[in-house]
Structure 1
Amino acid sequence: MKKIIFFTLVFSFILFSCNDDDCFTTQEPVVLEFVNYKGENLIQKGILTKEHFHFLQVNGDTKFGISFEINNENRVILNKPGWIVGSTSYEAIVLTKEPKLFKFIVNISKSPGKCGSNKIDNILFKNIESLSQGGIHQIIVE
C-alpha cells in the first residue's frame, strides 16, 4: 500500500510539474487621456463620459468595436491591442460638440525571455493632436 501511495505521489509530481509554459505576463494596455488645450482632463472635469467614446479595430474593410474602460485616474484603457503582434489600425470617435474622428496604429512586438509578453513599440496618431509620455497618450480634443 505504501508503494502505491509513493508511486501515485511521484507520478503526480511528474505530470503536474511546472514548466516554461506556466508563466504569464499581462499585456501592456493602451492608455489614453483626453484633455483640452490647457491640459485639463476632460473626464475628470465631467465633460466626457464613457458614452462619449467609440473605438473600432480596422481589419481591411471590416471594422468592429473593442471594449475599453475608464480607470480611477480618469484615463481610457484599451486592453485588447497588447495581444496582437504587428501593426493594428484603430479608429476612435469622441462625441464632443464637434465630433472628433481620428485613427491610430499600434505597433507591437514580442518581448524576449521565457515569460516575455508583447510590448507596445509605438503608437502613431492621425488627424488629432497628441502628446505621448511615459506610456500615457494625451489626446487634445478641445
Structure 2
Amino acid sequence: MNTIRIYLIVACLCLSITACEKKDCFTPPAPVVFEFVDAEGKNLITTGQLHKDNFELREELGNRENELVEYKIREDDRVLLPEVGWSEGVIQYKFLSTIKSFSFLVKARKNKACGGTIIEQITLDGVEYEQKEGYILVILERE
C-alpha cells in the first residue's frame, strides 16, 4: 500500500514540474530584418535613396484590404519588422517604394515545445534576394 502511495506522489510531482516548465516557457519568433541595396551592393537607406517618406510595408488582409506594418530602421540601416512572424500560418505582405515594389510571404507555425511561433520560411516575389545570417539582403533596381 505504501509503495502505491509513493508511486502516486512521484507521478503527481513529475506532472506538476512538467506543467510548470511548459507554462513558463515562451519563444518569440526570430526577427525579420531586411537590408535594401542597389545592384552595386550599396545600402539604399545609407545613400538616402530609401527613407521613411518613400517606402512602406503592408500586410494583405484579403478582399483588397491591407494595413500598414510597423517597422524600425536600425543603426546599421537595416529594416526590422518587429510584429512579423507572431501569427501562425501564411501571411502575405507588400513592400511599396518609389524604387521598386514586391510582395513576400511569411510562413510561421506554433512552437509546440515552448509556446510562441517559429518562422519556417520567408519568400520574396519579383525581386532578387539572398538569405544571410540574421537578415535578408534585397537588391532593388528601378522598374
Normalising by the residue count of structure 1, what TM-score does the alignment of the two structures yield?
0.75
Residue 116 (structure 1) shift: 4.0
Residue 25 (structure 1) shift: 3.0
Query: 2:85 is paired with a residue of what secondary structure?
Result: helix
Q: Distance in 2 between matches of 1:23 and 1:52?
A: 40
Aligned twin of 1:7: none
Question: Does residue 78 of the first structure (1) align with residue 77 of the second (2)?
Answer: no
Query: 1:50 is paired with a residue of what secondary structure?
Result: coil
State the 4+ residue runs in structure 1 displaced beyond 6 angstroms. none
Contact 1:28 1:79 in 2 (8 A): no
Q: Distance in 2 between matches of 1:74 and 1:101?
A: 19
The Cα RMSD (Å) is 1.9
Aligned twin of 1:89: 92
Aligned pairs, how many?
A: 121
CA-to-aligned-CA distance 1:31-65 (integer Å, 9 cap, x gap): 11100111111112222212222111012122111
Aligned twin of 1:39: 41
Q: Distance in 1 between matches of 2:138 and 2:78?
A: 11
Residue 22 (structure 1) shift: 3.2
Unaligned runs of 5+ in 1: 1-17
Aligned twin of 2:101: 101
Unaligned runs of 5+ in 2: 1-18
Structure-to-structure mapping, 1:1-142, within 5 angstroms? 19=20, 20-61=22-63, 62-96=65-99, 100-113=100-113, 115-142=114-141
Normalising by the residue count of structure 2, what TM-score does the alignment of the two structures yield?
0.75
Contact 2:55 2:97 in 1 (8 A): yes
Query: 1:80 is paired with a residue of what secondary structure?
Result: coil
Contact 1:106 1:122 in 2 (8 A): yes
